[in-house]
Amino acid sequence: MTSRKDDVASKLSYAHDRFQSMMDELFTAKREARDPNNLVHAAADVLSNSRECFDYLGQDILETHILPLTKNNDLITKYSQGKVRAYFPFYESQLRKKAVYADLRVTAPALHKRLLGFAADIKNNNKIPNTLLQSGLFDELKDIVNHKKHDRLIAVISEEESEFLIEQPGMKMLIPRDGQKGWKSFSVSPGSQVSRVSEYRFEFNKREVAEFCMFAHRATEIVTRGFYDEFF
């Protein structure tokens, strides 16, 4: 059976493009001291498309590594009747006992072990290897998208003058005022423009919008690509 790897790549490409457009509008709005247009919808697009990639991967795991090999006739029957929900296993409990992915212990032990390791990384908030990205944020990504399904929109809150916008020819940078460690001031090159601007955070988890959206599409790309490269 053909995997959904290309569909995942397409979704992540779209999420990346949406993120870049959102950032362009965010910088422009901050410079013009106004609220950015359609920020809620753009952010929701990035997060939901990133989150859906995991369920594509989960479906591929079920159809490639479980159904053709399992002796669980009840699972096969329920799948044929459309009664199996193959949500990606972010938690150890989704890989144990009678869970859908539990059969991987027999049908694909290496993949089962890899998924258990990923679930442990999320639980312990370990860094994704060779990055500064925290695995625990996948739990927040899952929950914020599920929350959106009920409330339709992801609420965003604005905090005035919470960031510095630094602009130079060919470069734009945002520096949060809070949470900095080890320094109390910064210097910029001649000709730079520095402004105090509003910061935008998700109401759901209080994460800064741009930072969390960057994590969503980038970390999802790294993790899903790793699974596809190794097991498909």
Q: What is the pLDDT of residues 119-177, one digit of tens each?
A: 999 999 999 999 999 999 999 999 999 887 655 556 666 665 455 545 556 655 555 55
| Any domain includes 25 | yes
Residue with tokens 């459309």: 82
The total of structural domains in the chain comes to 1
| Strand-strand pairing, 156-168 and 193-202 | antiparallel
Q: How many DSSP H helices and E strands does the chain contain? A: 7, 3
Task: Classify 179 as helix, strand or coil.
Answer: coil
The token pair that represents 122 in the structure block: 């999320």
The radius of gyration of the chain's CA atoms, rounded to the nearest angstrom, is: 21
CA–CA gap between residue 77 and residue 82 (Å, rounded): 9
What tokens appear for 52 in the block? 């859906």
**Residue 92: DSSP 8-state:** G
> Domain for residue 173, yes or no?
no
Which amino acid is residue 212, in one-letter code?
F
- Structural domain that includes position 68: 5-156+207-231
Q: Return the amino acid letter for 66.
A: I
Question: What letters, b where the CB count within 10 A reaches 16 and e where it falls short, cover 5-17?
Answer: beebeebbeebbe
The 10s digit of each residue's pLDDT in 176-209 is 555 545 545 445 455 545 455 577 888 889 888 9
CB 216 within 8 A of CB 47: yes
- The pLDDT of residue 1 is above 70: no
- The tokens for 209 are 């919008």
Bridge partners (DSSP) of residue 156 are 202
Q: Is residue 100 part of a domain?
A: yes
Tell me if the pTM is above 0.85. no
pLDDT at position 97 is: 87
Please give the distance of CA 91 from its chain centroid, rounded to a whole number: 16
The mean pLDDT of the chain is 85
Contact 100, 94 (CB under 8 A): yes
- Residue 54: closest CA among 19, 18, 94, 81: 94
Residue 193, domain member (yes or no):
no
Please say whether the beta carbons of 161 and 196 come within 8 A.
yes
For residue 72, being part of any structural domain is answered with: yes
Residue 165 belongs to some domain of the structure = no
CB atoms inside a 10 Å sphere around CB 129:
10
E strand or H helix that includes residue 229: helix 209-231
Decide: 67 and 40 in contact? Cβ < 8 Å: no
Check: CB of residue 174 under 8 Å from CB of residue 7.
no
Whether 142 is in a domain gets the answer yes
Tell me the two tokens of residue 121: 């990384």
At residue 26 the predicted structure's pLDDT band, cuts being 50, 70 and 90, is confident
Indicate if the pLDDT at residue 11 is higher than 90. yes
Answer yes or no: is 172 within a domain: no
